[in-house]
Amino acid sequence: MAEQQNSRLYRLKPLTDRLPSIKRPEGHVHFRTKIMWVILMLVFYFVMTNVFLFGLDQSTIIDIFGPYRAILAGAQGSLMHLGIGPIVTASIIMQLFVGAKIIKLDLTNDEDKAVYQGTQKFLVIIMILVEAVPQVFGYLTPSTTLINGLDGVVGASGLLSGTNLARTILVAQLFVGSYFVFLMDEIVSKWGIGSGISLFIAAGVAQAIFTGTVNWYPVDGSVPLSVDNPPAGTIPKTIFLLTSMSASQLAGGGYEQILIQNPNPVVALIGTILIFLFVAYVESARIELPLAHGTARGARGRYPIKLLYASNIPVILMSAVLANVSMFAYLFYTNDFLSQIPILGGNSWLGYYTPDSGTSAAGGLAWYLTTPNGLAGWLLPLLNPEAYASAVFDHGSLQILIKVVVYFSVMVLGSILFAKFWIMTTNMGPEAVARQIENSGLQIPGFRRDPRVLKRVLERYIPVVTVISGAMVGALAAGADLIGTVGNASGTGVLLAVGILIQFYEALGREQMMEMHPMLRGFFGGE
């Protein structure tokens, strides 16, 4: 109770308890009902990605989340424009504060855990506004039709002008869409199977990969198909160029265009397949601790400690951090108001942008932390600087190599850090797992039945595997980004999609097993 009194977050409890939320089921939810909720939420997700914001000028949209669109499970200009960004950012902030002991909450205590979840829900609302307001007032322009209509009602000047009211309407739509995503995630986690956020990411990445592989429309839809404007998908593009180019054209740059050049080269498709197979293999690697029941003779089991123990969560959190760095660097450099802020505003060291770079940084810290766009974004400029210098905004070979090293290192070290925070805040650490095994009546054969003994045994494995897990997912994601992926899904997106699908398959197996054997529900945390 002392920690509860010390935590100031309890003062927010009257407010957070009144926020809209999804009620947890009182009893066991049948397997078919869970599947129905999962499918229904996925349908709602795809519907929301195709509902464009009312009153938005589609022709002037600037997508500052472009490189991270698949990871953030969003769709440009739609109700899902912000995607899961605010939710993941709020989760990062809460994890950092709890992990650093700035917030004194014991997440094994039910009351403290409820306060933690309520505070995170409140923080999600704040982050929605933090991400929505700058974009609407800077880069999501209301249509002139909506502005003119509102001007006729409230006037064209003043604080309540038609323009400001139109922007407020766009912010309100982004707020409603993003909070719906948060509630949909709660529905999946409480009434369905797995995590809603993970399912939305997998759905968005799968759509991007499928489109990037088989899209037969030309890269530039306003111009007819040609050798310079081939189909956007890998397979149609390869077939079209092989059948349309002569042998001399293929030898003079056609093979390079097919194999390496964006969009969707063959190397990117091969890299996507290899990442899929490798992650599927690594997901099955685990250490299994033998367990025996303390009272029932012959009752034995195993506790698996997977090589990817922290799952794909660390790389989601790391990608969200880089997405926010990219967004705020762009805002501080290009926004009329924010660019006037001392030190941060208009600072080229933080990141600078040119007409050719669009929303991607052309230099500065943001450029070094930007996702590489496959081999065409770093290897080709190294091998042939004269032809591909524009792809790296005329940076030299040394700067390109530094960018590759910095990006790879940041992804690996950041994923390790978030893996450790994630284990601490989700009851997956040695102490929490030891208590869980003890409560289930199991013990490690040959060891005394004592949570402290179990904790010491688990401490030999879990901390080490956590670091390895974070480093591996970070390296896989960064490596896939350097090779390239089809559909601009990014290496992180492919890694996440594969891991999510495998975990969802395993979760389906557990749910079916618990349906057949109700006694197992207690061990797996069911009702």
**Rounded to whole angstroms, how far apart are CA atoms 118 and 113?**
9
Q: Is residue 455 part of a domain?
A: yes
Candidates 320, 34, 426; CA nearest to 196 is: 34
Cα torsion through 232, 236, 240, 242, rounded to 10:
110
Candidates 355, 513, 525, 524; CA nearest to 31 is: 513
Provide the pLDDT for residue 295: 60
Q: Tell me, yes or no, whether 389 and 470 share the same domain.
A: yes
525 C-beta neighbours (distance < 10 Å), count:
9
For the chain, what is the largest distance between any 2 Cα atoms, rounded to a whole number of angstroms?
Answer: 82
Q: Tell me, yes or no, whether 152 and 229 share the same domain.
A: no
Q: Tell me, yes or no, whether 257 and 376 share the same domain.
A: no
Helix count (H) and strand count (E) of the chain?
22, 3
Helices (H), 296-354: 313-334
Q: Is residue 349 part of a domain?
A: no
Q: Which residue has the tokens 């994890």?
A: 95
Identify the sign of the CA torsion 170, 88, 334, 78. Answer: negative
Q: Is residue 172 part of a domain?
A: yes
Q: Tell me, yes or no, whether 305 and 241 share the same domain.
A: no
Q: Tell me, yes or no, whether 12 and 123 share the same domain.
A: yes
Q: Tell me, yes or no, whether 256 and 160 share the same domain.
A: no
Phi, psi torsion values for 305, nearest 5 degrees: -110, 100
Q: Tell me, yes or no, whether 276 and 424 share the same domain.
A: yes
Which burial class, exposed, middle or buried, applies to 84 when counting CB atoms under 10 A from its CB (0-12, 13-18, 19+)?
A: buried
Phi, psi torsion values for 290, nearest 5 degrees: -70, 140
**Rounded to whole angstroms, how far apart are CA atoms 402 and 407?**
8
Q: Is residue 339 part of a domain?
A: no
First vs last C-alpha separation in the chain: 27
Helices (H), 82-161: 85-99, 110-138, 144-154
Provide the pLDDT for residue 198: 85
Q: Please tell me whether residue 105 adopts helix, strand or coil conformation.
A: coil
Provide the pLDDT for residue 296: 57
To which H or E segment does residue 437 belong?
A: helix 430-439
**Rounded to whole angstroms, how far apart are CA atoms 480 and 391?**
19
Q: Is residue 380 part of a domain?
A: yes
**Rounded to whole angstroms, how far apart are CA atoms 78 and 72?**
13
Establish how many alpha carbons lie within 13 A of residue 164's alpha carbon, considering only the half-sphere containing its beta carbon: 8
Q: Tell me, yes or no, whether 432 and 498 share the same domain.
A: yes
> Is the separation of the CB atoms in 65 and 86 below 8 Å?
no
**Rounded to whole angstroms, how far apart are CA atoms 111 and 55?**
43
Cβ-based neighbours of 57, under 8 Å, separated by 6 or more: 141, 142, 143, 144
**Rounded to whole angstroms, how far apart are CA atoms 168 and 171?**
5
Phi/psi zone of residue 380: left (φ > 0), alpha (ψ -120 to 50 degrees), beta?
Answer: alpha
Cβ-based neighbours of 350, under 8 Å, separated by 6 or more: 329, 332, 333, 344, 364, 365, 366
Domain count, the chain: 3
**Rounded to whole angstroms, how far apart are CA atoms 336 and 137?**
10
Provide the pLDDT for residue 6: 52
Provide the pLDDT for residue 355: 84
Q: Is residue 392 part of a domain?
A: yes
Q: Tell me, yes or no, whether 172 and 252 share the same domain.
A: no
Residue 257, domain extent: 216-263
What distances in angstroms separate CA 33 from CA 251, 328, 400, 440, 527, one per listed residue? Answer: 57, 42, 52, 27, 15
> Is the separation of the CB atoms in 80 and 45 below 8 Å?
yes
Single pTM value for the model: 0.76
Rounded to 5°, angle at Cα 423 from 420 and 429: 115
Print pLDDT tens along the chain (527 aa).
Answer: 334 455 678 888 888 888 888 888 887 788 889 999 999 999 999 999 999 999 998 877 777 766 677 777 888 889 999 888 898 888 888 877 877 677 777 776 778 888 888 898 899 999 999 989 888 877 788 998 888 888 887 777 767 788 889 999 999 999 999 999 999 999 998 899 888 888 898 888 888 899 899 999 998 888 888 888 999 999 999 999 999 988 888 888 889 889 888 889 999 999 889 888 888 888 878 888 887 766 656 556 777 888 888 877 888 788 878 888 888 898 899 888 888 888 889 899 999 998 888 888 999 999 999 888 788 889 888 988 888 888 888 899 999 999 999 999 999 999 999 999 888 777 788 888 888 777 777 777 767 777 788 888 888 889 999 999 999 999 988 998 898 888 888 877 888 888 888 888 888 887 877 776 655 555 544 55
Q: Which residue has the tokens 């066991």?
A: 28
> Is the separation of the CB atoms in 302 and 291 below 8 Å?
yes
Which CATH number is 495's domain given? Answer: 1.10.3370.10
Q: Tell me, yes or no, whether 81 and 143 share the same domain.
A: yes
Q: Tell me, yes or no, whether 369 and 498 share the same domain.
A: yes
Q: Tell me, yes or no, whether 253 and 278 share the same domain.
A: no
Q: Is residue 32 part of a domain?
A: yes
Q: Please tell me whether residue 196 adopts helix, strand or coil conformation.
A: helix
Q: Is residue 235 part of a domain?
A: yes
